[in-house]
Structure 1
Amino acid sequence: MTRQIILPPAFQPADAGRRNMLLLTQLRWLAVGGQLMTVAVVRFGLGIELPLLQLLMSTATLAALNIASHVLIASGARFTDGALAGALLFDVIALTVQLSLSGGITNPFAALFLLHIVLGAVLLRPPYPWGIVGATLIALGLLALDPTPLVLPADMPVDPVPLYLTGGLVCFVLIAVLLVIFIGQISRNLRTHDAALAAVRQRAAEEDHIVRMGLLASGAAHELGTPLSLLSVAIGDWRAMPRLRDDSELQEELAEMDGAVRRCKAIVSGILISAGEARGVAPEVTSVRKFLTGIVEDYRASLLPGALDFDDRFGADVTIVSDPALRQVIGNVIDNAIEVSPDRVALTAAREGQALVLDIADRGPGFAPEILETFGQPYRSTKGKPGGGLGLFLLVNVLRKLGGEANAENRLDGGARVRIVLPLAALAMEGAR
């Protein structure tokens, strides 16, 4: 079972406008095809005289507008409600012209105006839908004034009343089918819009949580600095005392205590550097291989021999700027793996295209299904400890800032694997901020 954390697309209001304009162009292409088919059936199938030149010019104008719309959509242009309303008004005008040349308001396809009203009500914010309603009423009034009548052949064997009813039925079916298709697509667009907005809100909440955690960590680091310095001085004094100098066992324990205090001071300094509070500390220029080797060596110094296996498949080395936050979150994943699998943890580094790929595998019990489902969310942990799950939460969010991603899975042969994918451009010297 795998749970992958993928960067959600940034929500842009312009995307909804482009999708809606694309819907209108699709509808217009259907209208162009339907008009050509209807003209062919009426003129050549039923033998009814029509002003073909004017009707074809109107259809050609719709096709030209559609081509221009596709060009604008492909260029990434923004489409406001005003632009969408203008496109619908153009369709209303085109339909008015075609109906005026083919019977006016008595044409059974005059009901197609209803389609434009419904689309305007769904796609546009007030007062634009009322503008479409007003334009439609004006169009119907003009069609009732002086339309070009349809002249049926004198020898036409078909009764015009059933023919009119058949045309009305075809118009009803056409409207129903188009509404189901396009309203369904509009609903999907709205769901996509809502999902994107929810993702933005979730990200904002997570980033606010990170800011609060950063302030807490920075404050704690400041508070811990003084007592750690006092402990370091006290341990140094104890080691120099004549009464304790000759006690080798006690000197060894004091040396271990001094090393632990130094380690804590280094961690505190790292927190302050990551928070941007260190003064006079320049970013460290290194390489991918040196960066990873440094992490591995730090862990190997405190683990059993062979407990951490490093498989370097990266290939040609790349110069980067070391990121303390990235080093910390990679360390969090290794810590988690060592905790459940102290005898064997494997770190594999590889290169896929322009990305660094790190696999951290252990031989522990693997992730619980609920952890995989909520991978990267804060306080999702089965350890039962306060603050559990923050390591993976920080991993996902640091990688998100760098344009990367993380996924986790349970291995078939036992244990778990966390994969980190990071664009090398995010760490390159020219990309350093």
Structure 2
Amino acid sequence: MSSPSFLRTLCNLRWVAITGQAVTVLVATEWMDIPLPRGPLWGGIAVLAAFNIYATWRSRHPGPDSSRTAFLHMLVDVAVLSWLLACSGGITNPFSPMFLLLNVVAALALPLRWVLATAAASLLGYGLMSVFGQPLPELHSTRLHLWGMAVNFLLSVGVVLYFSTRLVSALRLREREVSTLRERFARNEGIVALATHAAAVAHELNTPLATMTLLSEEISEQTDDDGIREDAHTLRQLVDLCRDRVRELAASAEMGFRASVDLDRVIDRWQLVRPTIDLRREGVLPPNLRVEPSIGHLLQALLNNAADASTQAGSQRVFLRLRCEQDELIGDVRDEGKGFHENLPFSSEGLFRSSKPEGMGVGLALSHATVERLGGSLSIHTVQPRGVCVTFRLPVRFGRKEFP
């Protein structure tokens, strides 16, 4: 439990303690007619209430050393408890074991040195209360002890259970966060390794791409068949597309350089690579919208995943909807596949894990990492009658030709 959270919890518990102390004094002095010093008792309760008002306000603006502040709070609780017990029986008061409860509360939330300091303060307060405490009247001591011990036990069980359950919940939450961070770290390491390898391959591809360009030109010039000439022209377009992608990869590695792309052109290039896919598009983008290349890569990865999923299910349709709302780009990519694989639970954090027979498990992990880096969000849900829809929301800038 964090220190600011502990301070707020301590203030809430202190209000419960103040209420219980006030009820106890009323019952003991008015209903049971026990001769107790009402002025000192009500004065101690009033001081604790005034302090808790200040502490509640102060807990909303915790200082740099919240653990030290929490110890000071515990010190006030020990002092007031010592005062109240000294005025109502001292060591014979059945609520004297409350000092132990204060130490349990401190041990569950504070560092060791402050726990030891709280224990020392409790020992001092218990000792002073034992020496200077006013004994209870003999007529009521036995009955008060029995009832007081029962109430003390119930209060102790309630407080310990409250803090224990909160501590267990906090530990489980921390374990989930650590597990998520561990998966993200492993994914990011894989992405860095993949990017390093891709950069090396990009330099090696220049020569074969240049050769393929010359061959496609020679085939187009030497043939009289219109069909072959058209195929050669398509091959030249695909080679040019590969060369542009290689150049983009090399350019993105340059320090301080961030280009911008047109999503409409990205979609046209994707349809050139996947001509058999029937892309059903909705929505219109602003004409001045230019985004950074990673958003284009994100869209292509999602379209490829959707196309593969639809193809495996016997369909060639992919649905795309792009729109801008205020300063956000919102996209929906839907396929007509079979949904999530039953034997492979969906995880956007994992890298190199795929439910597709020939999939590398890279696309969705890279998409999630891109959205995370750009400060957006990505969600996935199944749709009826079949298929999966991936929705992403990303902040964008309008009217800029390239990013600074």
TM-score class, shorter-chain normalisation, is: 0.7 to 0.9
In structure 1, the partner of 2:16 is 30
Q: Give per-residue Cα distances to partners, 1:165-185, cap 9 Å, x unaligned.
A: 221221122111221122212
* Structure 1: gaps of 5 or more residues: 1-14, 153-157
Answering whether residue 282 of structure 2 is matched by residue 311 of structure 1, we say: yes
In structure 1, the partner of 2:265 is 294
**Following superposition of structure 1 onto structure 2, how do residues 362-377 of structure 1 map, counting pairs within 5 Å?**
362-371=335-344, 373-377=346-350
TM-score using structure 1 length: 0.82
In structure 1, the partner of 2:364 is 392
Cα separation, 1, equivalents of 2:248 and 2:51: 60
In structure 1, the partner of 2:247 is 269
**Following superposition of structure 1 onto structure 2, how do residues 167-246 of structure 1 map, counting pairs within 5 Å?**
167-236=148-217, 244=222, 246=224
CA 1:376 to 1:146, structure 2 compared with 1: closer, same or farther past 3 Å?
A: closer
Cα separation, 1, equivalents of 2:402 and 2:122: 56
Question: Which has the higher mean CA deviation after the structures are superposed, 172-181 or 335-344?
Answer: 335-344
CA 1:144 to 1:81, structure 2 compared with 1: closer, same or farther past 3 Å?
A: same
Cα separation, 2, equivalents of 1:62 and 1:318: 65
Q: Which has the higher contact order (CA 8 A, sep 6+)?
A: 1
CA 1:32 to 1:333, structure 2 compared with 1: closer, same or farther past 3 Å?
A: same
Out of 308, 326, 335, the residue aligned to residue 339 of structure 1 is 308
In structure 1, the partner of 2:234 is 256
CA 1:278 to 1:344, structure 2 compared with 1: closer, same or farther past 3 Å?
A: farther
Cα separation, 2, equivalents of 1:430 and 1:43: 80
Q: Give per-residue Cα distances to partners, 1:94-127, cap 9 Å, x unaligned.
A: 2111111212111111110111111222212223
CA 1:230 to 1:324, structure 2 compared with 1: closer, same or farther past 3 Å?
A: same
Q: Match of 2:97, SS?
A: helix
Out of 41, 46, 50, the residue aligned to residue 36 of structure 2 is 50
Cα separation, 1, equivalents of 2:206 and 2:192: 21
Question: Which has the higher mean CA deviation after the structures are superposed, 108-117 or 350-359?
Answer: 350-359
Question: Which has the higher mean CA deviation after the structures are superposed, 217-226 or 76-85?
Answer: 76-85
Is the 8 Å Cα contact of residues 290 and 401 (structure 2) preserved in structure 1? no
In structure 1, the partner of 2:259 is 283
CA shift, 1:376, in A, is 4.5
Query: Match of 2:25, as an amino acid?
Result: V
Q: Match of 2:95, SS?
A: helix
Cα separation, 2, equivalents of 1:199 and 1:164: 52
Is the 8 Å Cα contact of residues 349 and 358 (structure 1) preserved in structure 2? yes
Q: Match of 1:341, SS?
A: helix
CA 1:17 to 1:89, structure 2 compared with 1: closer, same or farther past 3 Å?
A: same
CA 1:149 to 1:353, structure 2 compared with 1: closer, same or farther past 3 Å?
A: farther
Q: Match of 1:420, SS?
A: strand
Out of 113, 132, 138, the residue aligned to residue 127 of structure 1 is 113
CA shift, 1:247, in A, is 5.9
CA 1:173 to 1:278, structure 2 compared with 1: closer, same or farther past 3 Å?
A: closer
CA 1:72 to 1:148, structure 2 compared with 1: closer, same or farther past 3 Å?
A: same
Out of 408, 417, 420, the residue aligned to residue 380 of structure 2 is 408
In structure 1, the partner of 2:291 is 322
Cα separation, 2, equivalents of 1:58 and 1:208: 59
Cα separation, 2, equivalents of 1:418 and 1:92: 57
CA 1:313 to 1:18, structure 2 compared with 1: closer, same or farther past 3 Å?
A: farther
CA 1:256 to 1:428, structure 2 compared with 1: closer, same or farther past 3 Å?
A: closer
CA shift, 1:159, in A, is 4.7
Query: Match of 1:199, as an amino acid?
Result: T
Query: Match of 2:87, as an amino acid?
Result: L
Give the superposed CA RMSD: 3.0
Is the 8 Å Cα contact of residues 221 and 272 (structure 1) preserved in structure 2? yes
* Structure 2: gaps of 5 or more residues: none
CA shift, 1:205, in A, is 2.6
CA 1:431 to 1:37, structure 2 compared with 1: closer, same or farther past 3 Å?
A: farther
Is the 8 Å Cα contact of residues 239 and 251 (structure 1) preserved in structure 2? yes
Is the 8 Å Cα contact of residues 372 and 408 (structure 1) preserved in structure 2? no
In structure 2, the partner of 1:11 is none
Cα separation, 2, equivalents of 1:238 and 1:60: 97
In structure 2, the partner of 1:12 is none
In structure 2, the partner of 1:9 is none
Cα separation, 2, equivalents of 1:431 and 1:99: 73
CA shift, 1:253, in A, is 4.1
Query: Match of 1:379, as an amino acid?
Result: F
Cα separation, 2, equivalents of 1:395 and 1:47: 74
Is the 8 Å Cα contact of residues 376 and 395 (structure 1) preserved in structure 2? no
**Following superposition of structure 1 onto structure 2, how do residues 82-161 of structure 1 map, counting pairs within 5 Å?**
82-151=68-137, 159-161=140-142
Q: Give per-residue Cα distances to partners, 1:304-332, cap 9 Å, x unaligned.
A: 59811111067xx4855411111112111
CA 1:80 to 1:200, structure 2 compared with 1: closer, same or farther past 3 Å?
A: farther
Number of positions where the alignment pairs a residue of Structure 1 with one of Structure 2: 400
Is the 8 Å Cα contact of residues 376 and 389 (structure 1) preserved in structure 2? no
Question: How many percent of aligned residue pairs carry the same amino acid?
Answer: 26
